[in-house]
Amino acid sequence: MNESIFPNSDLYETGYCVIFVQGISPMDVLCRIPHRRSRAVELDRSELEAIKALGAEVEQGDISEVNLDELERSGILHSNGPLLRAGRYGDWAFVVESEGPFLAKEEILKAVSGGTAALFAQMSETAAAWISYAEDGEILSSFDPLFPDSDYGKWPAILDGLTGYRKAIDSGERADAYENALRKIQEALKCAVSPAVDAVRLPTVRVADGY
């Protein structure tokens, strides 16, 4: 997968979900998610994966730059729910989940898009993909890039009008439909995030009741 796409399968080998939200902060995005959350702790991607794999069994050596007592107090180690990291790129905040599928819930995209716009993208470990776009609590476009004519959003034409993603799909190989559509949408909306943005420590929460 091309590194210009964030996230990508090189960074998240078992798949991912990501939501980009315009004009609000990363912590505001996390606070809009309608589920009970732990206190935020800054983690990088490798530290998150260690906690995800080991849970309460994680040791200081697994997360050498993070205080284990702070993690314990935050509540991040107290659940098997999804772990979410949030960051910023330009005017857009993003929240990313390794594997998924918690962020794929429609209620979350609706909640975070209140008063603004939000873009959702998902790639599973089996390469199944999905893209959705919402404005002010309404999902306007929601589709599998392999089958763009089957769009389950309220006003599908809006996203294509804003971005021209259909032409990007039609002019490329079918196997590249997701990459081509997502890249075109991100570039048009100005949320084409560099993978380097995800390499640093970012505010991370555990959603206790997420699954």
The residues, ordered by sequence, that sit 6+ positions from 93 with a Cβ below 8 Å of its Cβ are: 20, 21, 24, 25, 26, 28, 29, 86, 87
- CA neighbours closer than 13 Å in the CB half-sphere of residue 71: 26
Band of residue 1 on the pLDDT scale cut at 50, 70, 90: very low
The pLDDT score that the predictor gives to residue 2 is 52
> What's the mean pLDDT in 139-146?
98
Dig out the tokens for 167 from the structure. 């032409």
Q: Which residue has the higher pLDDT, 162 or 81?
A: 162
CA distances 174 to 98, 178, 181, Å, are 25, 9, 11
